Amino acid sequence: MNAEILRIGDDLVAMHAVLTDAGVTLVDAGLPGDRRALERALRAAGCGLSDIRGVVLTHGDSDHIGVAEWLRAEHGVPVHVHEADAARARGEEKSHAPGGAWRLGPVLRFLGSGVRRGALRGVRIGEVRTFCDGDVLDLPGAPEIIGLPGHSPGSVAVRIPAADALFLGDAVTTRNVLTGVEAVGLGPFSDDPHLTPQSMDRLRGLPETRLFPGHGPEFRGTADQLIDALAVS
CATH of the domain at 217: 3.60.15.10
Residue % of the chain over a pLDDT of 70: 98
For the beta carbon of residue 192, count every other beta carbon within 10 angstroms.
15
The single-letter code of the amino acid at 79 is V
pLDDT for 115 beyond 70 = yes
Number of structural domains the chain divides into: 1
The single-letter code of the amino acid at 212 is F
Cα dist. 228→73, 171, 200 in Å?
42, 15, 11
When pLDDT is cut at 50, 70 and 90, the band that residue 107 belongs to is confident
When pLDDT is cut at 50, 70 and 90, the band that residue 97 belongs to is confident
E strands present in 72-164: 79-82, 129-131, 144-147, 156-160
pLDDT single digits (tens) 123-175:
899 999 999 999 999 999 999 999 999 999 999 999 999 999 999 999 999 99
Q: Are strands 210-213 and 219-220 parallel, antiparallel or unpaired?
A: antiparallel
Angle at 188 between CA 230 and CA 98, to 5 degrees: 140
Domain range for residue 200?
A: 4-231
**Looking at the whole model, is its pTM more than 0.85?**
yes
Instruction: Specify the 3-state DSSP secondary structure of 13.
Output: coil
Residue % of the chain over a pLDDT of 90: 75
64-77 average pLDDT score: 98
Residue 233 CA to chain centroid, in angstroms? 22
The predicted pLDDT at position 189 comes to 81
Strand partners, 18: 5, 25
